[in-house]
Amino acid sequence: MKFTVASLAVGILLLPTQAQEPDRKVIHLTEITCKVFVEAMKPEEHRIIVAWLQGYYLPEHDPPVIDVDKLSSDSAKLREHCLNSPEDDLMTAAEAVFGK
| CATH class for the domain made up of 27-98 | mainly alpha
Q: Which DSSP category does 28 fall into?
A: -
Domain boundaries, the chain: 27-98
pLDDT tens digits, residue range 35-80? 999 999 999 999 999 999 999 998 889 998 888 899 999 999 999 9
Diameter over CA atoms, the chain: 65
Choice between 89 and 8, residue whose per-residue pLDDT is larger: 89
Q: Is the pTM of the predicted complex or chain greater than 0.95?
A: no
The beta-strand segments (E) located in 10-78 are none
